[in-house]
Structure 1
Amino acid sequence: MKKLFIAAILFVSGSTALMAQSELAFGIKGGVNFANFTGDGGDGFDDDNARTSFNIGALVEIPVTERFAIQPEVFYSGQGFDLVQRDDEQDTEFQLNYINVPVLAKLYLVKGLYVEAGPQIGFLVDSQLDGPNGSVDIDEDNFNDIDFGGAVGLGYKFDGGLYLNGRYTQGFSDVYDNGDNVDTDALDAKNGVFSASIGFIFN
């Protein structure tokens, strides 16, 4: 996994080097995730069972025109879904955690207000079943190491660099590995994540 993380960093670094002539703006971000699986596996996945987790990372905003920019990011993202929800105790969570690398096209509609969209690649970091009695590691061979997806979002950047962002990311790849011992037709599942983040771009 360390090699995948290094590859993600190099990917973002390479993207910025290709457009070094632009005025780059580096930033940081963090926020909350509401993650679930989408698909028809088993009895299907209920949106009420979304796992609540967090995201944290860094970004580079690369201006192309006054209103258009390219924004590669690298961030840690807690994903998965809740197997069991309890009112008075800790939920039992199916946890899949990723290092995600989206490359977004960012269009400012008016001053500060922008929309964004673009592809994303995710690298699986760890997989666990977490509940009131502690955490148990799940064999990562059961899951695909790479997750391809697409993201769309809306945000507002204030004067000074502070910004707010809401985003939905839909995975295109199956979560489960297509191995000999796994019936992926019965376990059709893809990542789906709503995220709300706050960040700062150093202009």
Structure 2
Amino acid sequence: MKKILLRITFFLFFLSICVNAQESSYGVRLGANLSSISSDDITDDLEDSRFGIVVGFLAEFPVSEKINIQPEFQYSAQGNDDESLRVDYLQLPIFLKYNFNDRFNIHIGPQVGLKIWEWEQDGVIEADFNTFDFAAVAGLGVNLTENFFADLRYGFGLSNIIDDENIPGDFEGNSRNIQLSFGYKL
């Protein structure tokens, strides 16, 4: 499953580069995450979600009048509220975006995340996180003006993000997050 998702991500990335660059637009986005690690192995007292930030850059390449490819590069603070279950990523989501009209759109696509930070001190659970996170992301967007936009997204982790090498048993967890962000297109 990881290999298929990685191939789809790279295919969409290269497709977005090949699309007509004259009509492309670029922008930035800033928002908030409400994230958690979904796992049967995490005790109830550690399940609280984490509020974090998301900040990134995007490019939008039209494929047709209603369809765009939108690759992004972003930083995202994720995990649970307990410090031992916090992890931050650099992420590359690539969306297929359908525009209903000039104001509303939906977008869906794969996302690859590279772990750049995790809590290093001893916590209640001494978990290490895997280097990569693969997820499927879907969202709704609204263009507030010609340049300003907002979007609401849900990310569903497809891979186990817990490296259970140092934990007895079979410890597994998947990332989940909801993002609300605002952005500006140049």
Matched, 1:142 2:131: no
Q: Distance in 1 between matches of 2:97 and 2:122?
A: 38
Query: How many pairs were matched up?
Result: 175
- Alpha carbons of structure 1 residues 116 and 183: separation in structure 2 relative to 1, 3 Å: farther
The gaps in structure 1 that reach 5 residues or longer are 1-10, 84-91, 130-135
The residue type equivalent to 1:50 in the other structure is S
Could you tell me the TM-score, scaled by structure 2's length?
A: 0.82
- Alpha carbons of structure 1 residues 65 and 45: separation in structure 2 relative to 1, 3 Å: farther
Q: Confirm or deny: 8 A CA contact 1:39 1:45 kept in the other structure.
A: no
Match of 1:191 among 157, 171, 175: 175
Q: Once the two structures are aligned, what percentage of the paired residues are identical?
A: 27
Aligned to 2:89: 98
Aligned to 1:24: 24
The residue type equivalent to 1:76 in the other structure is Y
- Alpha carbons of structure 1 residues 70 and 183: separation in structure 2 relative to 1, 3 Å: farther
1:161 positional shift = 1.2
Deviations 1:139-164 (A, max 9, x none): x9922101111100001013321000
Three-state SS of the structure 2 residue aligned to 1:160 is coil
Q: Distance in 1 between matches of 2:122 and 2:75?
A: 18
The residue type equivalent to 1:152 in the other structure is A
Three-state SS of the structure 1 residue aligned to 2:119 is strand
Aligned to 2:116: 125
- Alpha carbons of structure 1 residues 158 and 19: separation in structure 2 relative to 1, 3 Å: same
Aligned to 1:63: 62
Q: Confirm or deny: 8 A CA contact 1:170 1:193 kept in the other structure.
A: yes
Could you tell me the TM-score, scaled by structure 1's length?
A: 0.76
The gaps in structure 2 that reach 5 residues or longer are 1-10
**Higher share of residues assigned helix:** 2
Q: Distance in 2 between matches of 1:26 and 1:18?
A: 16
Q: Distance in 2 between matches of 1:76 and 1:148?
A: 15
Match of 1:166 among 146, 149, 152: 152
- Alpha carbons of structure 1 residues 16 and 110: separation in structure 2 relative to 1, 3 Å: closer
Q: Distance in 1 between matches of 2:122 and 2:55?
A: 22
Aligned to 1:50: 49
Q: Distance in 2 between matches of 1:22 and 1:169?
A: 31
Deviations 1:96-118 (A, max 9, x none): 00001000010011221000100
